[in-house]
Structure 1
Amino acid sequence: MKLHNISFNNLRRRKTKMAFLTIGLVVGIATIVTLVTLTNSMSSDIGRKMDEFGANILITPQQNGLSMNYGGISLGGVNFDQKEIRESDLALISTIRNSRNISAVAPKVVGAVEVDRHQVLLVGVQFDKELKLKQWWNVFGKAPERGDELLLGSEAARVLNVMSGDTIDIKGEKFKVSGILDQTGSQDDSLIFSQLPVAQRLLHKEGRLSFVEVAALCSGCPIGDMVLQIAEKLPAAKVSAIQQVVEGRLKTLDQFRRFSYAMAGVVVFIGSLIVFVTMMGSVNERTTEIGVFRAIGFRKSHIMRIILLEAAVVGVLAGVLGYAAGMGGAKLALPMMAEGKQVQLVWDGVVAAGSLGLSVVLALLGSLYPALHASKLDPTEALRAL
């Protein structure tokens, strides 16, 4: 009789005990898979939202100033030695070491203009970069494609009483309103957007920029290093990181990841203990059977292979069922753990292979001592029980 047939027959004869062992491993593997999958899915969702979040590095002109206070009352201040960002300096940003982490560089020029006796802010942008940076924008109409087209915020359109297709006058020039932004709840609602060269000409700021937004929000991007690298390239500018919200979410995720690892360690220990107790009990129940095997010529290695093969079969079955149960649990828990309903469950082949491998390793490790114990049984002592 072949050794694997003996192992399979033993599993069939001891269905209840093996079912208990399998369920114990399934619960452990499912818990680990659920925690790891939730962590991976939330990390992926945060990475995706980071890319849509907008600028996280702001480049503004460097300026020096003095504030004046008298009797505890602020009397304002005086700015002097104010430097400007030159549009030609933008090319230097692409030369930093971490330039591959930059997804968009959006330069802007800002100034006040009068439209129909209303003072409004005109912002010159590069619309291809701006739309990539602000993916939450919803434009009624279309984004400007020509120099004589404008995009208005919802509040600016309301104050000026214009709609898409209307024409407005700015400093004696006619511009067509090609689109209107849906309400964003930000300062964008009160702005008028035009092509960057047009705004620079109207505001007499040719070749100059008011500030630059850089989008580099990606999972694992070294934002602090990038700020220093850009500051080295643009010494006349002030470079700041806007990442408090992102850092908070990443810290929360890191805490959840550590909790997952701690829980996984506990589950691994409990799973190994269940396997050990169950297999040790099985060996004690089969003392006579093992003694017969030894008496008819089975070697110690044969006895160990029989028991370890049983454990491996249970481990494979528990790994498959545990992975399926874990993914099902993660799918149910993910909407409650993450923000929004568009979070995608991450199906990772590494997690599947890892769950199967971990289940088999746990089963083998928990069965190793019982197998050694069984192989060392004295056949004469075992046969006395007959």
Structure 2
Amino acid sequence: MRPYQIALKNLIRRPARMFFLTVALAVGLAAVVALVTLSNSMTADIEHTMDQFGANILITPKSNDLALSYGGISLGRVSFDQRELDPSVLERIRTIKNHQNIAAVAPKVLGTVTVQGRELLLVGVDFAAELRMKPWWRLTGAEPSAADDALLGNSAARVLGVKPGDRLTVGGRSFKVAALLQETGSQDDGLLFVPLAAAQAITGKQGKITLIEVAALCSGCPIGEMVEQIAGVLPDARVSAIKQVVEGRLQTIGQLKRFSLGMGGVIALIGLLVVFITMMGNVNERKVEIGIFRAIGYRTGHVMGIILLEAGLVGLVAGLTGYLLGVGAAAVTLPLLAQSGHPHLLLQWQVALAAIAAVGLVSLLAAVYPARRAGRMDPADALRSL
């Protein structure tokens, strides 16, 4: 009878012990696989959400004249009257090394205007880029597309008493209120948005830009590198990252990954001890059987091979079972933790291979000493217990 046949028969002959050993290893592995799969899936989900979140890089002129806050975000110090950006910077932004990570570039011109006796902050924008950058905006009316279309914030519309379709006179120019911005809870509610060229003419800033918002795709989130690259091509501008947009969401994921690695180490140690104790007990119970093998000519390597093969088979089954259990647990838990409404479970073949290989390796390492002890067993000592 070949060694692998002996190993299989021994496993079948002791089903209860091997079943509980397999379950112990599988449950431990399932916990680690679930945590790793959850962290990877949540990272991918957050990156997808971040791609739709909006600006995470701000570009403003270098100035010390006036502090400006826009949308609840501090933009640094900006001078409306003296320091502006040249439109050529838009092309230079697209030349950086990580230009493929740029989702949208939204230039803006800001200025104060009087409308129906009320002072409003006028924001000139490229509506196509702005609407792409702010997918959370909800409009009442049609998307602005014409050169005389305007978008009015919810609070500003209420103060002015206007509705979609009404016309407003701003700086001597007539604009049609194409849509109203539904309440966002931000400074956008009190703003008047018009096409960039029209705002430049009204504010006397033809060919000038007050600030630029950049939405960066967050696959890998190279925000810091992109800020340095943009600053390199725009030496006269202040480039800053809204770090909390990236770091605030990925910090928890990093903690979960570190916890999963730490938990994996603890479970590996426990699994090592469980397999070691089980295999030592198995060897002690099979003294007679091992003595017979040695007496009929089985060499040390043959006996060790039988014990290691048993441990390896248990590890393989436990690895497959644990991986499937872990993926199932992650699939159930992910919708409760994800940022988006329809998270996608990220399955990676590397995780499957690593999980199965790790359990197999732990099982083999734990069985090495029992196998060596069995292989070196004196046939005469073993047969005396008959």
TM-score normalised by length of structure 1: 0.89
Compute the displacement of 1:103 (Å).
2.0
Quote the residue 1:355 is aligned against: 355
Aligned residue number for residue 92 of structure 1: 92
C-alpha distance in 2 between matches for 1:250 and 1:119 = 40
Unaligned runs of 5+ in 2: 68-77
The separation in 1 between residues aligned to 2:346 and 2:14, in whole angstroms, is: 37
Aligned residue for 1:208, secondary structure, equals coil
Residue 148 and residue 79 in structure 1: after superposition, are their counterparts in 2 closer, same or farther (change >3 A)? closer
| Counterparts in 2 of 1:128 and 1:179: CA distance versus 1, 3 Å | same
Whole-angstrom distance in 1 between the partners of 2:80 and 2:21: 77
Q: Is the 8 A contact 1:111 1:123 kept in 2?
A: yes
1:183 aligned partner = 183
Matched, 1:225 2:225: yes
Displacement of 1:384 after TM fit?
2.1
- In the superposition, relative to structure 1, how do residues 80 and 44 fare at CA in structure 2: closer, same or farther (>3 Å)? closer
Contact 2:36 2:260 in 1 (8 A): yes
User: Which amino acid in the other structure matches residue 12 of structure 1?
Assistant: I
Whether the aligned pair in 2 keeps the contact of 1:83 and 1:237 (CA below 8 Å) is no
Partner in structure 2 of residue 123 of structure 1: 123
1:316-371 per-position Cα deviation (integer Å, ceiling 9, x unaligned): 21112111221233234445555565443322222122211112112111112212
Q: In structure 1, what residue type is equivalent to 2:23?
A: I
State the partner residue of 1:309.
Answer: 309
Partner of 1:59: 59
Residue 366 of structure 1 aligns to which amino acid in structure 2? A
Q: Matched residues in 2 for 1:80 and 1:139: separation?
A: 29
TM-score by length of 2: 0.89
Tell me how far apart the structure 2 counterparts of residues 234 and 309 of structure 1 sit (CA, whole Å): 64
Match of 1:72 in 2: none
**Structure 2 equivalent of residue 113 of structure 1:** 113
User: Against the structure 1 CA distance between its residues 17 and 241, is the aligned structure 2 distance closer, same or farther, given a 3 Å change threshold?
Assistant: same
Q: Which residue does 2:199 correspond to in 1?
A: 199
Partner SS state of residue 52, structure 2: helix
Corresponding residue for 2:74?
none
Whether the 8 Å contact between 1:163 and 1:177 is mirrored in structure 2 is: yes
Deviation at 1:176, TM superposition (A): 2.4
Q: Where in structure 2 are the equivalents of 1:206-285 lying within 5 Å?
A: 206-216=206-216, 218-285=218-285
Give the conservation status (yes or no) of the 8 Å contact 2:80–2:210: no
Q: Any conservation in 2 of the 1:62–1:82 contact (CA below 8 Å)?
A: no
CA distance 1:66–1:268, shift in 2 (3 Å): closer
Per the alignment, residue 70 of structure 2 pairs with none
Give the equivalent residue in structure 2 for 1:48.
48
Structure 2: how far apart are the matches of 1:227 and 1:23?
A: 50
CA distance in 2, matches of 1:63, 1:6: 81
* Matching residue of 2:75: none
Superposition deviation, residue 138 in structure 1? 1.7
Letter in 1 for 2:102: I
Match of 1:75 in 2: none
- Tell me which amino acid in the other structure corresponds to 2:147: G
SS in 2 for 1:184: coil
Any gaps of 5 or more consecutive residues in structure 1?
68-77
Aligned counterpart, 2:143: 143
Shift of 1:186: 0.8
Report % sequence identity: 53
**Residue pair 2:80, 2:111 contacting (<8 A) in 1 also:** no
* SS of alignment partner, residue 147 of structure 2: coil
Secondary structure of the corresponding residue to residue 94 of structure 2: helix
Pairwise CA distance, 1:41: 2.1
User: Kindly tell me: are residues 120 and 64 of structure 1, through their superposed partners in 2, closer, same or farther at Cα, counting changes over 3 Å?
Assistant: closer
Which residue number in structure 2 is paired with residue 30 of structure 1?
30
Deviations, residues 241-277 of structure 1 (Å, cap 9, x unaligned):
2213532333333233222211111111111111111
Is the CA contact (8 Å cut-off) linking 2:45 and 2:339 kept in structure 1?
no
C-alpha contact 1:88 1:207 (8 A) present in aligned 2: no
Q: Tell whether 2:17 aligns with 1:17.
A: yes
User: Which residue identity is paired with 1:289?
Assistant: E
Code of the residue aligned with 1:152 in structure 2: it is L
Deviation at 1:31, TM superposition (A): 1.6
Separation (CA, whole Å) in 2 of partners of 1:288 and 1:141 = 87
- Structure-2 change in CA distance of 1:380 and 1:79 (3 Å): closer
SS at 1:119 equivalent: strand
Q: Tell me, in whole angstroms, the C-alpha distance in 2 between the residues paired with 1:365 and 1:378.
A: 23
* Partner Cα separation in structure 1 for residue 295 and residue 313 of structure 2: 26
SS at match of 2:145: coil
Contact residue 106 and residue 213 of structure 2 kept, 8 A: yes
The whole-number CA distance in structure 2 between the counterparts of 1:82 and 1:233 is 22
How far, CA to CA, are the matches of 1:79 and 1:53 in structure 2? 28
After TM superposition, the structure 1 stretch with the greater mean CA deviation from structure 2, 281-290 or 58-67, is 58-67
Partner of 1:74: none
Q: Could you tell me which residue of structure 2 aligns to residue 326 of structure 1?
A: 326
Contact kept in structure 2, 1:84 and 1:237, CA below 8 Å: no
